[in-house]
Amino acid sequence: MMKLPEPVQKVVDALAELPSIGPRQAVRLAFYLIGRPKEDLRVLAQSIDALRAIKICERCFFIHQNAGALCDVCMNPARNQRVIMVVEKETDYLSLENTKKFTGRYFIVGPVPKTGFLEAWQKTRLLSLKKYIADELGGAADEIILGFNPTTLGDFQASLLLKELAPLGKKISRLGRGLPTGGEIEFADDETLGSALDRRN
Amino acid sequence: MMKLPEPVQKVVDALAELPSIGPRQAVRLAFYLIGRPKEDLRVLAQSIDALRAIKICERCFFIHQNAGALCDVCMNPARNQRVIMVVEKETDYLSLENTKKFTGRYFIVGPVPKTGFLEAWQKTRLLSLKKYIADELGGAADEIILGFNPTTLGDFQASLLLKELAPLGKKISRLGRGLPTGGEIEFADDETLGSALDRRN
């Protein structure tokens, strides 16, 4: 490949590392950025830099920028901390939160590897959840909802988490199969997700 | 949609503006970035900021960071400035340059709109090319190659540019059509095979 100016190559390399962006698309994006007004580039650079100040909630591991250690949901006294929705990723959290039907709180475990072996950081997260349930909820949450996709992989992930969490919830549930089988939480509309919440079993 | 922290929303909005990146992918990319080490974010932000210093060549409109106004190819005395390859975009320039077979120079006209009406900035670029050919090449380049895609749109773009540039080149050509190296006769379309037959050598 012809050598690009070093700052351009740096941006290309960084963009190509992003999930679902290939090397060719990274080059196209870099050229698009170069064609933008200089002020736009400054704003984009500053916004990305500002991401460094984003904090991760100590309880559910969602993002926040509160003064304390907890995110908006976890520090909200109106939310039931004894009902815990375990989800794979932040975008699932967002989709569920958008239904405005869930009054418990979340726990983001991260993408469960297909190997079935959790990463070290995922084990650390699980340990903190177990400690919270032991210390704060007297050893058992009122309900643990396994909010995984209604897919083969999601079933696998749920069964894995079930093994870990079964003793820690008075009730363990999954999202109702009002969700179309084979679909994904992230792409479901609010109505469908709402009924899935209502019919969790 | 649930409100994201402002710095996150800013990055999401900026990413969603990039070509071929949708709003959902923008959210996923932002969460991916938040999960990166803080040092990586700083480096990415700095690289994007550094793009502001990238210059555009006054002659061919490719990028460069030379002290003068010209890019590496345009200021290279070994390149024939009387043979001009007109291309749609920077990535086409890169692909052609990678062949190491072209010894002329380029002219990036930008994506010709399907309406057939060039944007104001494209007209400005064309004017500068015409002025260069008039002032520096005595009114006609030795050869102008219309380096557009061998597609219906590319044919349309080439015909449009041909109208503009026909009087300014002693010879006007397009990239040769035929079987792509590594391709198979069995799977070639009629058009491609036809050109391959016409231009057998």
Residues in chain B closer than 8 A to A30 (CB atoms): 51
Indicate yes or no: CB of B7 within 8 angstroms of CB of A89. Answer: no
**A171 shares a domain with A102:** yes
Chain segment A119-176, per-residue pLDDT in tens = 999 999 999 999 999 999 999 999 999 999 988 899 999 999 999 999 999 999 998 8
pTM for the full predicted model: 0.80
Range of the domain at B37: 6-53
User: A1 to chain B, minimum CA–CA distance in Å?
Assistant: 6
* pLDDT per residue as tens digits for the range A16-75: 999 989 999 999 999 999 999 999 999 999 999 999 999 999 999 999 999 999 999 999
Which of the four pLDDT bands, split at 50, 70 and 90, describes residue A1? low
- Give the burial string for B123-140 (b: 16+ CB within 10 Å, else e): eebbeebeebbeeebeee
Residue B191 belongs to a domain: no
- Token pair of A200, please? 């969790």
B186 is a domain residue: no
Q: How many domains does chain A have?
A: 2
In this prediction, residue A152 carries a pLDDT of 87
Q: Are A60 and A108 in contact (CB under 8 A)?
A: yes
What tokens were used for B88? 């749609």
**What residues of A are in contact with residue B50 (Cβ under 8 Å)?**
7, 10
- The length of chain A is 201
Residue ranges in chain B modelled with pLDDT below 70:
1
Q: Are residues B24 and B92 in the same domain?
A: no
B99 touches A at CB < 8 Å: no
* The pLDDT value given to residue B1: 61
B59 located within any domain = no
**8 Å CB contact between A172 and A162:** yes
Asked if residue B180 belongs to a domain, the reply is: no
Give the model's pLDDT for residue B189.
Answer: 84
B/e letters for B180-197, b = 16+ CB within 10 Å, e = fewer, are eeeeeeeebeeebeebbe
Domain identity same for B49 and B86: no
DSSP chain B: -PPPPHHHHHHHHHHHTSTT--HHHHHHHHHHHHTS-HHHHHHHHHHHHHGGG-EE-TTT--EE--SSSS-TTTT-TTS-TTEEEEESSHHHHHHHHHTT---SEEEE--PPPTTSPPPHHHHHHHHHHHHHHHHHSTT-BSEEEEE--SSHHHHHHHHHHHHHHGGGBSSEEE---SPPTT--GGG--HHHHHHHHHT--
Q: What is the pLDDT of residues A65-117, one digit of tens each?
A: 999 999 999 999 999 999 999 999 999 999 999 999 999 999 999 998 889 89
A41: domain CATH number is 1.10.8.420
Based on the fold, state whether residues B91 and B163 are members of the same structural domain.
yes
Mean pLDDT, range A168-197, rounded to an integer: 85
Residue A148 lies in a domain: yes
Angle between helices A23-34 and A6-16 (to 10 degrees): 130
Select the residue of B5, B31, B54 nearest A64 (Cβ to Cβ).
Answer: B5
Contact A162, A146 (CB under 8 A): yes
User: Over the stretch B112-136, which tens digit does the pLDDT of each residue have?
Assistant: 888 989 999 999 999 999 999 999 9
* Residues of chain B positioned with their CB less than 8 A from the CB of A11: 44, 47-48, 51
Q: A112 and A31 share a domain?
A: no
Q: Does residue A138 sit within a domain?
A: yes
Q: For residue B132, is it within any domain? A: yes
Task: Please return the burial class of A180, using the count of CB atoms within 10 Å of its CB with bins 0-12, 13-18 and 19+.
Answer: exposed
CATH number at residue A139: 3.40.1360.10
Is the domain of A169 the same as that of A111? yes
- Report how far residue A6's alpha carbon sits from residue A44's, in angstroms, rounded to the nearest whole number: 19
What's the pLDDT at A201?
67
Given a cut of 80, whether residue A180 has pLDDT beyond it is: no
Whether residues A137 and A79 share a domain: the answer is yes
Same domain, A89 and A143: yes
Residues A74 and A159 in one domain: yes
Q: Look up residue A46 and give its amino acid.
A: Q
Residues B114 and B162 in one domain: yes
- The verdict on B165 and B87 lying in the same domain is yes
Q: Do the domain assignments include residue A1?
A: no
Residues A171 and A101 in one domain: yes
Sequence-ordered list of residues with C-beta below 8 angstroms from that of B145, at least 6 positions apart, any chain? B83, B84, B85, B86, B104, B172, B173, B174, B175
ipTM of the complex: 0.84
Distance from CA of B126 to the nearest CA of A (A): 18
Distance in Å, alpha carbon of B147 to nearest chain A alpha carbon: 18
